Structure 1
């Protein structure tokens, strides 16, 4: 795998620190296949992350949001019970998966059902950042129209 050096961009790009850090992190991290997940676009501002977490109980899963990073982790409780497997195809290992979220995206719900963890996300743009139309009046007064 070829490594990309972003240091020249850090020296010459002003104000793009967050984007460059994301690219740098993405290029360095190996993306493990466990647990498998889907990311769905439900509508223009709604998303769903579905993770296959069979074998994990609700209390063994943790969902955290910090500085636009959603972290989903699973930690199996220590079982003292000895089991002898002839074949073990169901993974029971701990995991941590991180998702970098865009600005104004937040978690609104999470549910565990039939071994699938669904995390619902929504993008809510603050009113102050939404585009506004300005109409021009001949009388010299302007009128702001939300649009």
Structure 2
């Protein structure tokens, strides 16, 4: 199968990395842990901003078994449960498993906090305020 360039138009200049970004997003993962993405309002009064909240179902993980990092415009959440040898199971239906879930963020987005409550890990992201830039380019010549 041949690769099809999505951004080969001469009118789309500077989008060279976009194809790599789309490939990274398309890889996906095994679906564990399940998650929600919701739009929320952060702040109060005149300082209200639209924000995003990612919530992952991480039942069985403690705070020290989870990590949240920003790596090259990716929000990466990792979980690694410690399997204690002191417990003897007659039946084991809940496996200690590790995971890694990554979300690609737009330029300027920032994670402002993470909270673990009732088996749900919530990470709040703020969107940058879009700014309209109008710039006049001086024409030089004879």
Shared topology, TM-score over 0.5? yes
How many residue pairs are counted as aligned between the two chains?
125
Q: Does 1:114 align with 2:118?
A: yes
Q: CA deviation at 1:82?
A: 4.0
Residue 45 of structure 2 corresponds to which residue in structure 1?
none
Higher strand share: 1
Which runs of structure 1 show a deviation greater than 3 angstroms over 4 or more consecutive aligned residues? Answer: 8-14
RCO higher in structure (CA 8 A, sep ≥6)? 2
Q: Distance in 1 between matches of 2:85 and 2:91?
A: 19
Query: What is the correspondence of 1:91-106 to structure 2 with a 5 Å cutoff?
Result: 91-106=95-110
Give the gaps of 5 or more residues in structure 2: 42-48, 135-142
1:69 to 69, 74, 91: 74
Give the gaps of 5 or more residues in structure 1: 134-147
CA deviation digits over 1:74-125, x for unaligned, max 9? 011241224324351x342000000000111100010000000000000123
Going from structure 1 to structure 2, the CA distance change for 1:17 and 1:118 (only over 3 Å counts) comes to: same
Answer whether contact 1:45 1:124 (CA < 8 A) is retained.
Answer: no
Please report the TM-score for the alignment, with normalisation by the length of structure 2. Answer: 0.75
Q: Distance in 1 between matches of 2:96 and 2:38?
A: 26
SS in 2 for 1:84: coil
* Structure (1 or 2) with the larger CA radius of gyration: 1
Residue 31 of structure 2 corresponds to which residue in structure 1?
33
Q: Distance in 1 between matches of 2:87 and 2:75?
A: 35
Q: Return 70-79 or 48-57, whichever deviates more.
A: 70-79
